Amino acid sequence: MTTPEVKTLTVNGVQVEIHGERNLLEVIRKTGIELPTFCYHSELSVYGACRLCLVEVEKRGIMAACSTPPENGMVIRTDTKQLREIRKINIELLLANHNRECPSCVRSSSCTLQTLARRLGVDTIRYKQRQELEPIDKSSPSLERDPNKCVLCGDCVRVCTEVQGIGAIGFSFRGSKAKVAPAFDKNLAEVECVNCGQCAAVCPTGAIIPHQNREDVWNAIHDPSKIVVAQVAPAVRFALAEFFNQEAGQNAAGKLVAALKKMGFDYVYDTTFTADMTIWEEAEEFLRRVKAGGPFPMFTSCCPGWVKYAEINFPSLAQNLSSCRSPQQMFGATMKEALPDMLGKKREDIVVVSIMPCTAKKYEAGLDKFKVDGNPDVDFVLTTTEIGRMIDSFGIKFNELEQEAFDMPFGFGTGAGVIFGTSGGVMEAALRYAVGKIEGKVPMHGLEFHAVRGSQRFKETSIKAGDAELKIAVVNTLGAAKELAQQAADGKSPYHFIEVMACPGGCVCGGGQPILNDRIKRSRRMEAVYKCDKNMQFKNSLENHMLKDCYEKYLGGQPNSEKAHHLLHTKYENLNGIFDAVEVVEAGKSSRKIAVSVCVTPGKDEKKSAEMLSQILDYADQKGLADKLVVETAFAPSCTKRQAGEVLVGGRFFDGTDLDAVKQGIEEAVAK
């Protein structure tokens, strides 16, 4: 007997108690019935578009379980003849509109449409296949969009808008013409996408996938003149086993090393090594700021999704971002510095392959600033699922492999490096180093900072280090980061140090990891990170003695040395304004043109921007540069913080107060 206060309802004749579930779907799933869905994610808003979770509610009719709140006494059936037929028709219709190249699709076997068609017994499709195909968007170095495989569930749109606070893609048009696309049907690379790949992580089909670099890497492996070096990011090892149908939360590092060796990688190193290096550089930078009294807050810069987000939305925070490159880029730069010397090879013959949980790392590795004479520090980036597929295609039985150890010396890392893979990890690693150093107690065993751990989107704490009281914040997801960034941009941030990771839970749940859509798996992966840390003999990056050797031989002896600064630090771009309303004033004829945009704020200081515009045009005419420029006005609404007369020259920002600086900028950009 149930007590009178407990509300109940009946699912397929079984009485079920309601305990605060938000919708029927949750109640029904509690009973062990896995109702099919495309568009339902517990962490996103309810959308009710896919019409697969339909149930029959007595006296009310057929309703979508995801968007119906549970009520006392409801009598629900989940599987009547009519419901089966409706669901089947829905799947059939989706399949008729779907480019069914399943065997060659990256998502084959992890595709929800495929799974549901099988589960619901769709043996034939009675509708004619849609013939005309939309072009595939391959513009982004990180992600590929194939609209012909989209089921319009809107998961990607909602994750981008609700979780990341960006909205780079949205629904456009309607009815049979409805589609998911960036604004004005532009390519993904041309809009404010930061490449985090969470859209690909929630996509139930192959409509958005990580850009694939598998063939590039095979080619390098099969080229005898190349030395192929792998670096494995911390987070990869905690999710790869899932690709091979193992439980979530295992550490597959040893097996991955063994597999990579079998496949023909010459050296297999660990990005944990340069995670420790990042801490040496970043914690020293932080200590320097503490001594100098700012600028605060300092933001971490390991996450390329966050860095691009900040470059687009908060260019004024450039000096708040740590100047440290990410561990991936530090690794690439160090390898291309050290290996030619160690192995007697040319830089071009060393191929650095990153294995990352992340799609944004592909974008990062391709940036010009991380190339030397056109040769990138990191040649190719593979996501966890790509390396899984490569291992599969080689015929390796991953689960049966004997574990092997990373190669030395660049395969040695501490627990501090390992925890980089999860939200709070970079902060904790930096604190272990900085607090240890301030208090002069290194190594400090058991120096753990539990306040920064866990999957909550926002965590804060304050830490006493010597005389200083340090206010710390850790956020994951860009939606959460936006608030802290805005606060900092307004000069009102109470924090000294802020860690940002773009993906929910941090890198372990990155856009390149095996598909996961449940919180349990996420927390398993996070737990596995800390379990691994517990098992490491060294837990403080300061104790990485291999790193010390590396600094002595290749990096100028110590952190922040001139050489270390040259190889391991970077500068940030101002990408703001590239999406503003822009009208071309004058376009030159050359095939390669530099965009010069002058900010115009209607109704505000119009003279100033008109002056700037005519000065630039006159200057271009005088110097004969007109053909090499596209001069445009970028309109900024008066409610934004953009100032009239600001200028962007090929992405470089000038505040418009110094005309000579703008002229020089134009000349430099043209000369490049």
Residues that bind other proteins in the complex, under the rule CB under 8 A: 161, 166-174, 181-184, 191-192, 579-583, 585-586, 600, 602-603, 606, 610, 613, 617, 633, 635-640
Q: Are 568 and 322 in contact (CB under 8 A)?
A: no
Measure CA 627 to chain center.
38
Contacts 24+ apart (CB under 8 A), 102-108: 105/149, 105/206, 106/206, 106/209, 106/210, 106/212, 106/385, 106/389, 107/203, 107/205, 107/206, 107/209, 108/206
Nearer to other proteins, 168 or 484 (CB): 168
* Residue 177 C-beta: closest distance to other proteins, Å: 9
Residues written for the chain: 672
- Nearest distance from residue 106's CB to other proteins, in Å? 24
Tokens encoding 297: 């807050």
Judged by beta carbon, residue 117 or residue 600, the one nearer other proteins is 600
Task: Return the closest-CA partner of residue 406 out of 560, 190, 233, 571.
Answer: 233
Choice between 314 and 412, CB closer to other proteins: 314
Which of 61, 62, 122, 57 is closest to 89 using CA atoms?
Answer: 122
Q: How far is the CB of 524 from other proteins (least distance, A)?
A: 33
Residue 460 or 605: which CB sits closer to other proteins? 605
Smallest distance from other proteins to CB 635, Å? 5
Closest distance between other proteins and the C-beta of residue 667, in Å? Answer: 22
Give Cβ neighbours of residue 189 (< 8 Å, ≥ 6 apart): 139, 140, 141
> Which residues in 404-514 belong to E strands, given as ranges?
458-465, 468-476, 497-501
Angle between helices 253-263 and 384-394 (to 10 degrees): 50
- Closest distance of CB 167 from other proteins, Å: 3
Task: Report the residue number, 6 or 178, with the smaller CB distance to other proteins.
Answer: 178
Alpha-carbon span 365 to 360, nearest angstrom:
9
Angle at 624 between CA 620 and CA 627, to 5 degrees: 80
Q: Residue 171 or residue 458: which is nearer to other proteins going by CB? A: 171
Question: Toward other proteins, which CB reaches closer, 372 or 581?
Answer: 581
| Residue with tokens 């305990």, as numbered in its chain | 19
What is the residue whose two structure tokens read 């990155």? 510
Minimum Å gap between C-beta 600 and other proteins is 6
Give least dist CB 163 to other proteins, A: 13
| Minimum distance, C-beta of residue 164 to other proteins, in the bound complex (Å) | 11
Q: Which is nearer to other proteins, 580 or 646 (CB)?
A: 580
Rounded CA gap, 358 and 429, in Å? 20
Q: Which is nearer to other proteins, 10 or 615 (CB)?
A: 615
